[in-house]
Chains A and B, each alone.
Chain A
Amino acid sequence: MTDSPYILQAKNLTKIYGENVIFKDISLDVKKGETIVIIGPSGTGKSTLLRCLNLLTPVNSGQIFLEGEEITAHGVDHDQVRQKIGMVFQNFLLFNHLTALGNVMIGLTKVKKMPTEKAKQKALHELERVGLADRAHHYPAQLSGGQQQRVAIARALAMDPLVMLFDEPTSALDPELIGEVLGVMEQLAHEHMTMLVVTHEMGFAREVADRIIFMEKGRIVEQGSPEELFEHPQHARTREFLGKISELYGKKEKK
């Protein structure tokens, strides 16, 4: 079990909110170092899937494995699991009362119980990784959206996660700020961070993704390499969606 080739595996996940079946029997295998981009229309359950994967929301049935260990099993410490799965949100969700440095440090000092000085060094290093070492002492309100999102990425990276989940990390940003965030993510991909990215940025998907998953109405319709999906989509729905999305987001793609 432990020497599974997959770092993250989902088997037959089903999520139901009341009467609403958000998704049913979704399975997913993520290899170490892989960058997967998930695309699909709004309300399809992409965000819900990510939240299920790091146990922020419980699934109704199915199993999730992290490094071969089942994290949906009884008695698993969810908080411990979440330390190993980083998450970046559409609306950043930085801790408003902490500086950029404080935001990155707090997980280290309070969750990992790292000594302050060591945590500070590590946090500064992570901020450097996202190009914000000079903004360490700024509060979220003093940072631009792009900068806030990069701090949020640094905050997640500081926990040394096995996998990073991104939920539309650039959709709340002004067009001119999108590039800096995508740049950081691209660099992470080059460093072989395992990433699951929900995004409408087709340029990013095309250039950075190892695999693209097209989801619709709670199902995975089609998946494959960017080339397969963009050049030879198998399903009519995929073609239709890609057509719409390039119309909508076409301008931004030029970066």
Chain B
Amino acid sequence: MKKITWLISLIVLVSLLLTACGGGAQSHLEKIKQAGVIKVGTSADYPPFEYVDENGNKAGFDIELMEEIAKRMGVKVEWVDMPFDSLIAGVQEGKIDCSISAFNYTEERDKVVDFSEAYYTAEDAFLVAETFTGSITKPEDVAQYKVGVQSGTTQDDWLTNVLQIPEQNLSRYDRADQAALDLKSGRIDVMMADAIPAKALAQKIGGLKIVYTGVLSSGPMNIVLPDGDTELAQAINDILKQLQQEGFIDQLAQKYFTE
């Protein structure tokens, strides 16, 4: 028993020494700036947030946002593509500097990593025809109507699994605009979508209105940062605030969530 305690303290000591030698007095942020590169993990299989376009390049809302953040930090992004489940471990163990991958805050994750301020909150909206006579005052109300949704989206997931809407009342579409057209023609009563594209669709197609907006199918999104790395968190939060004020994030949302 004693021997083991002794051994463990030796290992701890050695690793401390090693870290000390490698690290010096430099902070994480300083190291990133000195290297001129920030290693950012993402799981590029979640369009439109992060994906690989037909040329094999990374693209998406998160990707472009992070590139802009890095630019303002004066560094370049080195993208590290990992499956979603590996990203937290990657940040935790310092294999990547941070991760942006449409992460929502959860308490379990917060135990091992830190989160930036929310950079985007995906709001959902219920869209109806202007002639709609029913009443939707709270989200549960949609369960009594015929609902349309783009298949495979977080809204689809929410309607199916949280609201558990009967299958015969749910129509799934490949594209959001198909659903909007069916809404106008009366084949469905309500359509659920991301708030930003929903607004854009209502304008484009005409004769539609939004009856409810709220955060339902997904929460605010945050960048995942190493536990206790307040300096990096501060730097990123400051830039996020600027981007928000300048309307950069809204523009990005328009670009990626409206079609």
Q: Is there direct touching of A and B in the complex, by C-beta distance under 8 Å? A: no
Interface positions of B (Cβ within 8 A of A): none
Residues of A within 8 A of B (CB): none
